[in-house]
Structure 1
């Protein structure tokens, strides 16, 4: 795993990493779409798209998968926690996109060098269906962003980096179903629209080290998921999530609602605005 850590430190990302088979990825997609079929309107509400591993046992198990955590631990060290997670879905033949941005812009997690984003492909992801693009080496400092009103921009505030560094160096993050990419919290990246006949489906997990849980201050205490190592709420600034026993059970829904209320209280003035979408 040393090669992952060294490449990540130099470039700000590493990919691809095989974390499950294509058949397992197909099952994950099936589980997702079966869950969507249970929901009003056939899709997750804004809040429900975030931290869904608190609602769905099969997603909690994906967050805890050794193949995922082995790669993350190579970068962050032995104490690994998941701060948040979400589905990133682009429907077929839509103009939705993500502008050039850094995940770290509104998060307030410190130190940023101890935060990374894992992006797991549930389908084959390529330029045609809107794969991510990274600009290597742009993870060393926070850049200024401006907020836009483009309704096709899937970022919560339409945040974008004006006059981004040399786009000619951008790398397409092409992944097969069941593969994962890791990128630094400050790495500049974007993704284009999905022009194909199928959905582009990814699952994002934001991992932090124990040091972030001890250092980051919040107006309201949020919760995090302990994946590996040791962390106790009394020593840090976050409470701990509980594994869901039942899919969308009453207790699970209540805990998820509370977790999202805490997050929204820290980041958004309006309860109608949510999320860190990538």
Structure 2
């Protein structure tokens, strides 16, 4: 795998970009400073106590969506220039935010997030690229619920959505992926993985006594159009099928959205 160690203004070089486009994932260390990671960790813990859990009783994780819209500190993280800068370089196309989410695996949750792709869940078409910035706000070793990827699996597109609770579901729709190499990437607080929205990935159970706290900003091609399908972040917005997602809920990277 490719790892890059950026300066405080996070950047990636051409080798890292090429590796990302080949493998579908790259790790960027220290995308946040230690102090930033601690501040955002505390904000995430606070937000999780008042926000709606969209995972609704799942044993896999707690999921809090679009926290940037209600929490000023987490808004800074979702719109963090380091994340946007790296994501844009990796994607190679103009981007906008699709949504953010806190993904928290409670202590000793005992449930894996099984292999799946992200993109099949989204009501998108005409997208040239989409990717997620998965930021560890606490140290995430293997035993706390770190991510495992199948490099190159982002070339499998057009698959139906897969069941995150079924360890065999991805392999029913793409049997060849069962035998491909798997890459597990533990992270320290402030580190980030950027992964393609079609890259198959999973996460181990959290078998520690502390919660795993991760924040994800999902970026999509700014020219992506809406299919009209249902999704928690588009429902009720009155979007027209076939239109681009030119709406304040989906800010273009680098634009003032206040």
Would the TM-score normalized by the shorter structure come out above 0.5? yes
Structure 2 counterpart of 1:114, from 107, 119, 129: 129
Conserved? CA contact 1:139–1:185, under 8 Å: yes
Q: Which residue of 2 aligns with 1:169?
A: 181
Conserved? CA contact 2:47–2:67, under 8 Å: no
Structure 2 counterpart of 1:92, from 66, 86, 107: 107
- Is it true that 1:200 corresponds to 2:212 in the alignment? yes
- Provide the rounded CA distance (Å) in 2 between the counterparts of 1:147 and 1:168: 18
User: What SS does the aligned partner of 1:169 have?
Assistant: coil
Q: Given the two structures, how large is their TM-score scaled by the length of structure 2?
A: 0.75
Conserved? CA contact 1:112–1:186, under 8 Å: no
- Provide the rounded CA distance (Å) in 2 between the counterparts of 1:171 and 1:120: 17
- Provide the rounded CA distance (Å) in 1 between the counterparts of 2:40 and 2:84: 18
- Is it true that 1:186 corresponds to 2:219 in the alignment? no
Structure 1 counterpart of 2:38, from 12, 26, 48: 26
Cα offsets for 1:58-88 (capped at 9, x unmatched): 1121122121111011022463210011111
Q: Report the Cα offset of residue 141 of structure 1.
A: 1.8
User: What SS does the aligned partner of 1:161 have?
Assistant: helix
Superposition pairs of residues 61-80 of structure 1, within 5 angstroms: 61-77=76-92, 79-80=94-95
Q: Report the Cα offset of residue 18 of structure 1.
A: 2.3
User: What SS does the aligned partner of 2:53 have?
Assistant: coil
- Provide the rounded CA distance (Å) in 2 between the counterparts of 1:142 and 1:57: 36
Q: Report the Cα offset of residue 147 of structure 1.
A: 6.0
User: What SS does the aligned partner of 1:34 have?
Assistant: helix
- Provide the rounded CA distance (Å) in 2 between the counterparts of 1:159 and 1:44: 27
- Provide the rounded CA distance (Å) in 2 between the counterparts of 1:55 and 1:127: 31
C-alpha change, 1:184 and 1:147, in structure 2 (3 Å) is closer
Structure 1 counterpart of 2:53, from 19, 25, 45: 45
Q: Given the two structures, how large is their TM-score scaled by the length of structure 1?
A: 0.70
- Provide the rounded CA distance (Å) in 2 between the counterparts of 1:106 and 1:6: 27
- Provide the rounded CA distance (Å) in 1 between the counterparts of 2:230 and 2:46: 34
Cα offsets for 1:214-234 (capped at 9, x unmatched): x343257966xxxxxxxxx9x
Normalized per residue, which structure has more helix? 1
Cα offsets for 1:176-198 (capped at 9, x unmatched): 10111111111011111100111
User: What SS does the aligned partner of 1:4 have?
Assistant: helix
Q: How many residues align?
A: 222
